């Protein structure tokens, strides 16, 4: 299996925006029980340009984020590099920009994917909605399958 990182990001204080952080915690628990063997995890409040160095150490990276997109529950997409310009005051960057920086600065281009988990509420509170918890379960099951697969491409979805 290729060296893999699952990296979740979101704000734990904004209800369903914490989906990715919660997923990383579940994966860490599962790792203690023998699942997700050899897979590293990380999580943060948001992506930063420094993450380009982190992903340069992996062959495969799966970013995970709560989504406001028009998806049913979860979606799994391939990330391509993008050389979008960063503003001086920018507080967050996209997955494609992190990949582009990795490619330019470290001369490596890992396979990068984004697991979108449908969220519903974004108020200032630390509680996931019931519907988001159902989607979280589906996301966990998908990543468990991916962790045991040699063909990640077959899990890509369109939306």
DSSP structural state of residue 99: H
- Beta carbons within 10 angstroms of residue 144's beta carbon: 15
Residue-number span of the structural domain to which 27 is assigned:
4-155
> What CATH number corresponds to the domain at position 92?
3.40.50.1450
Q: How high does pLDDT run on average in the chain?
A: 93
Question: How much is the pLDDT for 90?
Answer: 52
Residue 2 has pLDDT above 90, yes or no: no
Rounded to whole angstroms, how far apart are CA atoms 5 and 136? Answer: 18
pTM for this predicted structure = 0.94
Q: How many domains does the chain have?
A: 1
The confidence band for 129, taking pLDDT boundaries of 50, 70 and 90, is very high
């Amino acid at each position: 299996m290729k060296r893999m990182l699952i990296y979740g990001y979101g704000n734990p204080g904004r209800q369903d925006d914490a989906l990715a952080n919660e997923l990383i915690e579940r994966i860490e628990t599962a790792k203690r029980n023998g699942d997700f063997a050899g897979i590293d995890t990380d999580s943060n409040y948001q992506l930063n340009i420094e993450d380009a160095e982190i992903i340069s150490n992996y062959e495969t990276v799966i970013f995970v984020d709560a989504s406001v997109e028009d998806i049913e529950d979860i979606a799994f997409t391939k990330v391509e590099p993008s050389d979008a310009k960063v503003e001086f005051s920018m507080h967050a960057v996209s997955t494609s920009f992190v990949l582009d920086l990795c490619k330019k600065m470290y001369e490596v281009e890992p396979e990068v994917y984004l697991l979108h988990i449908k969220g519903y509420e974004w108020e200032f509170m630390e509680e996931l909605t019931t519907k988001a918890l159902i989607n979280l379960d589906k996301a966990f099951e998908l990543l468990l399958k991916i962790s045991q697969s040699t063909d990640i491409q077959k899990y890509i979805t369109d939306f």
